Amino acid sequence: MSDLDVRKNAIGQSERKSMRSAKWIAKTGILSAVAIVLMYLEISLPLMPGFLKFDFAEIPALLAAFAMGPLAGISVELVKNIAHLPVSHTMMVGELANFIMTSFFVGVAGLIYRYKKTRKGALISMAAGTVALTISGVLINYFFTIPFYISALGFTLDKIVETARLAGNTLVHDLPTLILWVFVPFNIFKGVVVSLIVWLIYKKLSPLLHC
């Protein structure tokens, strides 16, 4: 192969790489925009305190993780939470906690699916992601988020417990039971619902996500 052919081949590879990068950024940006919109469509759940809202923003993030890898899913989570900072009521701590927990969710799921792209692999990856979301939620809320709200934002543990009990969750009495009967079921529910929706729509959207 001549030097000219080598240079042409190198230029061609560089152009293809740039094109792939541009597509990756564009698709990640579109899915991030969808996640931002979905993040504001919050709903309350039975037996959950009013400060804990459910949304569907992890659907585009998980789609990104499946289609383009775990980094794409985590990027969607990052953009989504940055976009929420101007309306934060938690001095940005809530957004940081959300980013960490949901990044574990989509990151673990995306990483497993990357190496096992089958229906069984998808189920395993989403189950593992839900477990990662739940465990990270326990640790972050127990050791960081709830203590921060109490020390920096003027909340009291009794007030937080009361909001759960007013919602009908009489199993909550203290911080451990708050974690066990509020945050654990909430994150399991969120992981299962998001996973189910992605399971139903991923194949239909796959041609668009991989174009």
Which sequence spans correspond to the domains of the chain?
3-209
Q: What is the pLDDT of residue 207?
A: 83
Structure confidence by residue, pLDDT tens digits, 31-61: 999 999 999 999 999 999 988 999 999 999 9
Average pLDDT over residues 112-127: 94
- For residue 8, pLDDT over 60 is answered with no
Question: Which fold would CATH assign to domain 3-209?
Answer: Arp2/3 complex 21 kDa subunit ARPC3 (1.10.1760)
Contact 54, 44 (CB under 8 A): yes
- For residue 9, pLDDT over 80 is answered with no
Backbone angles phi, psi at 186, to 5 degrees: -60, -50
168: left (phi over 0), alpha (psi -120 to 50) or beta: left
Give me the amino acid identity at 119. R
Average pLDDT over residues 138-150: 94
Please give the mean pLDDT across all residues of the chain.
Answer: 90
